[in-house]
Structure 1
Amino acid sequence: MNKVIFFSGAKPPQTGGEFYNYQLSQYLETIDWKHEYVSLHQKKHYIRLSKIPIFGNLLVSVIFAFILFKYRGYLVEDHYFSKYLWLTNFIRRFFCKDKIIVIVHLFYGYDSSDRFVIRKVLNGMIEKIRLSLADLIITSSEYSKNEIVSVGINPDLIHVLSPGLDRDKFNLSFNLPSSSHELNHRNSKKILCVGNYVPRKGIIYLIKALSQIQYKEFTLDLVGNRKDNSRYYNLLANAVEKLKLTECVVFHDGSDQENLKKLYASADIFVLPSLKETFGIVFLEAMHYGLPIITTNVSAMPELVEQGKNGILVPPADSQALAQAIKTLIEQPNLIQQMGEAGRKKVADSYYWEHTCSRFVSIIEKMN
């Protein structure tokens, strides 16, 4: 079996996509497959050259083709870096005859629902070109697969491998969620939002929604990485102060995993009003802890959250609808209990990393 080379982001992983890639590589280690995990995040000093007008991306592609040439075998690359790897892929495909597997976590420019037709067509052509050299494509949801197919990629090349839940990390070493009776007598409901401080997560709409709830019978814990997203974090912090929510909104560092587990364990409601997600591992984590979920009714969210069953779906960028959904759960503790239990049952016997990783191995073996 040829060596499997991962071209991915940060190590240790900092995002859901990076964690997905890392889990696949770690599984190969448990079955004694030769592999290597190459963090392109550590080479970001080269990526900064892409900001040079006109030929920046070309320059980075040439540099990467040179420094990555020593890695031979099956190439598994994160699509986020594909725009810098097109020359590497061209050389490997036509001269080295290496197999190329691309993992697509998100299209950052293209959206099949984009109403601006010219932008949609141009971005679609770019994505198709970036994926054209892939022997195989892996993605995490049916929504994401449909997006890839919509740019003109053969659906037979695309495999949907849903992420798993890290049950070792999030072991349930705490009391089960409160009963509806206990929730009724709790003075304040605890709302949890876990997502990096970037516009795509729609957190600003959550803050605006909370300002519309007259009785402040809640606390909101926001968990994210502010280090690389200081501009949006400052926007959120300023909104909290302007809307006079400083006493009920708390920002937390997303890198503190022990604190995150405590927040999940003590929360009553999970809210993440993303504008776009191709999956969302945090939704699995929230369901694992028995939390009802409030999120949006777009992209992959409806695949995980069933309206009225394990959560509530609202339109994206709609703070008024979001406020109404939060009020519904605050005012009806029995729904918190019912939806939380439904979510926990949904993930109890599914979303195992072992299954996802074994399918990944099976796919590679068939390519051999």
Structure 2
Amino acid sequence: MIKVLLISPTDPEKPQNLKLLVGGENTFTRTLLNNPPKNVEYTYHIDALKKGLIKYTFLHNLIALLVKFRILPLSSGSQVLRVMENFDIVHCHSYSIKLYGSKAPLIVSDSSSNYLYLKDYINWPIWRIKIGYFLRFFLFSIFRIIDCDTNWSGAQKILVFSNYARKIHTDLGVPSKKMEVVYPGVSVDYKNKKKKHKELNILFVGIWFERKGGLLLLEAFRKISNKYPNVKLTVVGPVTDQYKMRALNIDQKDFVPKEKLLREFFPNADVFVLVPPKVEGFGFSVLEAMSFGIPVVVSNVCALPELVENGKTGFVVKPGSVNDLVEKLEILIKDQTLREKMGDAARKRFLEKFSIEKSNSGLLKIYHFLYKLLQVRPQINEGQFEFLV
């Protein structure tokens, strides 16, 4: 049994502020904890803190303070911990990390990049990102804090979720030999049942309505709703009153627990849409839709074209193009046979590339490699470890 300390973010069970949810990172973490690879035992860092197996240090609070006052760039956060328990491997996802008292090999993983978040999510100008990254590099080098974007040398492996994310990190200077692409998997209780509802249901899921392409979908839906009165739009995520949805055949929910989303909303969807006009970190909701055999329409940004095969499992549309989105939705609305064919292909692609079994297989190979290397050379130092990996 390989003992792995998993340091990774999750959302609270009852969120107070929907805009602070970590979304895909939460899906990744909970999927691993609920479906660990064979012969792997995860200890989640929150549980380890409660049990006294690890504890925060003064430096942890100092780094948090520097981020709070924007001396360091915004990010998922840093975890600076003292480890009092022996683990075979430490896997840190999304956070920057510094560990005291641990000799275990360290894997860090990232869905995309903090650089992407700063540039396209919160629209920092390039000059501000460069200054922030310089300060991060300087301070993290002094304190030997490991970070996927600026200070990666202390990690034995860097895992990324897509070839797109690999390219971002390569552009930031991460050596290609240190990186591995392991597509994350999702685990769902799939039931292949024929939908009996009379309306054709288009599903959109996203906390950030505008950034996820909600406005584009809303405009497209206005254009097709009169022509196809049997089409319904379901929106899961907060939307301001200014968008005036009440006159349309739209069912909108601010928040739906994940279990209910997978039990009720995805199984009743005929088409899933995620069309961010600029950027998307990964797109876990796309995988969830594919797992239910639903054709998916995405925009041609970031990793989304890696998930959806255009014309086979759904459509990849031009970013920001309402007309292209309307055209592809009309094709799916009018052709039930095509919807079912694409849905079947989406389900097949999910099983081949994005199932939890497929993801765990890739992850387990890396765990095994580092675990065996540690057993053979227990006194290996950081520089030697990097050379061997």
Which TM-score band (shorter chain)? 0.7 to 0.9
Aligned equivalent of 1:209: 220
| Distance change (3 Å), C-alpha of 1:272 and 1:260 | same
Q: How many residues align?
A: 333
| Distance change (3 Å), C-alpha of 1:109 and 1:239 | farther
| Alpha-carbon distance in structure 2 between the residues aligned to 1:248 and 1:122 | 44
| Distance change (3 Å), C-alpha of 1:308 and 1:136 | same
| Distance change (3 Å), C-alpha of 1:347 and 1:223 | same
Sequence identity, in percent? 24
Contact 1:110 1:124 in 2 (8 A): no
Contact 2:11 2:23 in 1 (8 A): no
| 5+ long unaligned stretches in structure 2 | 14-21, 51-55, 137-147, 375-389
Aligned equivalent of 2:9: 9
Aligned equivalent of 2:194: 176
| Distance change (3 Å), C-alpha of 1:26 and 1:259 | closer
SS of the aligned residue for 1:253 comes to: coil
Write out per-residue CA displacement over residues 152-195 of structure 1, whole angstroms, 9 at most, x where no aligned residue.
111111111112231xx3220x52357xxxx9xx5x42101123
| Distance change (3 Å), C-alpha of 1:283 and 1:57 | closer
Aligned equivalent of 1:39: 46
Aligned pairs (5 A) from 1:49-128 = 49-50=65-66, 52-53=68-69, 64-65=79-80, 67-70=81-84, 73=87, 74-79=89-94, 81-82=95-96, 85=97, 88-89=98-99, 97-110=103-116, 118=127, 128=149
Contact 1:267 1:291 in 2 (8 A): yes
SS of the aligned residue for 2:114 comes to: coil
| 5+ long unaligned stretches in structure 1 | 225-232
> Is 1:327 aligned to residue 330 of structure 2?
yes
- The structure with the largest helix share of the pair is 1
| Alpha-carbon distance in structure 2 between the residues aligned to 1:50 and 1:134 | 23
SS of the aligned residue for 2:265 comes to: helix
The Cα RMSD (Å) is 3.9
Contact 2:220 2:323 in 1 (8 A): yes
**TM-score normalised over the length of structure 1:** 0.75
| Alpha-carbon distance in structure 1 between the residues aligned to 2:328 and 2:205 | 18
Aligned equivalent of 2:207: 196
- 1:269 Cα offset (Å): 1.0
1:144 to 165, 171, 186: 165
> Is 1:295 aligned to residue 298 of structure 2?
yes
- 1:3 Cα offset (Å): 3.9
Contact 1:189 1:330 in 2 (8 A): yes
> Is 1:164 aligned to residue 171 of structure 2?
no
Instruction: Between 3-12 and 154-163, report the one with greater CA deviation.
Output: 3-12
Write out per-residue CA displacement over residues 74-127 of structure 1, whole angstroms, 9 at most, x where no aligned residue.
321122x21xx3xx25x57xxx54422111012133389989765676677666
| Distance change (3 Å), C-alpha of 1:122 and 1:212 | farther
One-letter code of the match for 2:108? V
- 1:50 Cα offset (Å): 4.9
| Distance change (3 Å), C-alpha of 1:199 and 1:78 | farther
Aligned equivalent of 1:229: none
| Distance change (3 Å), C-alpha of 1:276 and 1:54 | closer
| Distance change (3 Å), C-alpha of 1:338 and 1:245 | farther
One-letter code of the match for 2:193? N
Contact 2:66 2:72 in 1 (8 A): yes
One-letter code of the match for 2:295? P
Write out per-residue CA displacement over residues 34-70 of structure 1, whole angstroms, 9 at most, x where no aligned residue.
5421139999x96874554255789x999x53x5444
- 1:366 Cα offset (Å): 1.6
| Alpha-carbon distance in structure 2 between the residues aligned to 1:337 and 1:34 | 39
| Distance change (3 Å), C-alpha of 1:321 and 1:61 | closer
Aligned pairs (5 A) from 1:24-35 = 24-28=32-36, 31=39, 33-35=40-42
One-letter code of the match for 1:175? K
